[in-house]
Copies of this chain bind each other. A is one copy, B any other.
Amino acid sequence: MITVWNEHVVEGRKPEAARHYPEGMHATIASALGGLGSPVTTATLAQPDHGLPPDVLDATDVLLWWGHSAHDDVSDDVVSRVCERVLEGMGLVALHSAHYSKPFRRLMGTHCMLRWRIAGERETVWTVAPGHPIAAGLPGSFVIPEQEMYGEPFEVPPPEALVFLSGFAGGDVFRSGCCWTRGRGRIFYFSPGHETYPVYHQAEVRRVLVNAVRWAQPSGDR
């Protein structure tokens, strides 16, 4: 099972977010993942256990995580369960501002800070590992017309594989697609995706989500 988690807070506060993601960002992200042959479900902060009780996590092969303004409201118990499941083999795909979420930071062991600027900038995403499964079917580069700038230094452990690099009009650069393993679990961070831009509706971004989920699935006995 694939589970898309979203704090689902900013959509109610920002008109652009509501316009681009009327049913929540989790709904738009989940809609990209229908063709993978696994059931896709969603979960949000306001649900009991944030929608992630033990039985849901136990059944989840890959968890996608989007959070931004409510990181501190996520309970430490849920965070511990998520991290345990990753160590056991569950994949984790951390999206955009999830760089600062509790589970991602705990698994990285660092603060995971970065520089940012909301200026509707043009982001060019470059594939630097063209043979990596997460780059399958993607061009050498693609453009996201308007984005929040995320820039280096990005305080994470050196990624085990660097798949994408982004450049911004202002000369900023960012390691926008990074892979790590923790225990038996595979972790992918992908930075594009601010709530006030229709990033998750863009075909190339949706292809990255599909590839990332496929890559992060536990190998198990397949």
Which A residues have a C-beta under 8 Å from some C-beta of B? 83, 87, 89, 106-111, 122, 124, 126-133, 135-137, 140-141, 143, 151-155, 157-158, 160-162, 165-169, 171-173, 175, 180-186, 218-222
Interface residue from B132, B168, B222 paired with A137 (Cβ < 8 Å): B222
Shortest C-beta distance, A216 to chain B (Å), equals 10
Q: How many copies does the complex hold?
A: 4
Contacts of A172 in B (CB 8 A): 124, 126, 167
Known: A109-B182, A131-B218, A157-B181. 16 other contacts (CB 8 A): A83-B109, A111-B183, A126-B153, A126-B172, A126-B173, A128-B152, A128-B175, A131-B186, A135-B219, A136-B219, A137-B222, A155-B183, A157-B180, A165-B165, A165-B173, A167-B172
Q: Is the CB of A161 within 8 A of B158?
A: yes
Which B residues are CB-close (under 8 A) to A220? 136-137
In the assembled complex, which residues on chain B have CB atoms less than 8 Å from the CB atom of A135?
A: 219
Is the beta-carbon distance between B162 and A160 smaller than 8 angstroms?
no
Which residues does chain B contribute within 8 Å of A154, judged by CB atoms? 128
CA distance A221 to B207 in the complex (A): 11
User: A161: which B residues are within 8 A, CB to CB?
Assistant: 158, 160
Q: Which residues of B contact A153 (CB under 8 A)?
A: 126-128, 130, 140
A136's partner among B168, B169, B221 (CB-CB below 8 A) is B221
Question: In the complex, A153 Cα to B106 Cα: how many Å?
Answer: 22
Q: Which 8 A-B pairs have the closest CB atoms?
A: A136-B219, A131-B184, A167-B173, A124-B171, A109-B109, A126-B152, A107-B109, A137-B221
Which of B130, B152, B158 touches A160 (beta carbons < 8 Å)?
B158
| 8 CB < 8 A contacts A-B | A107-B109, A128-B152, A128-B154, A136-B220, A157-B157, A157-B181, A160-B160, A166-B173
Known: A152-B165, A167-B173, A173-B166. A158 touches B137 (CB 8 A): no
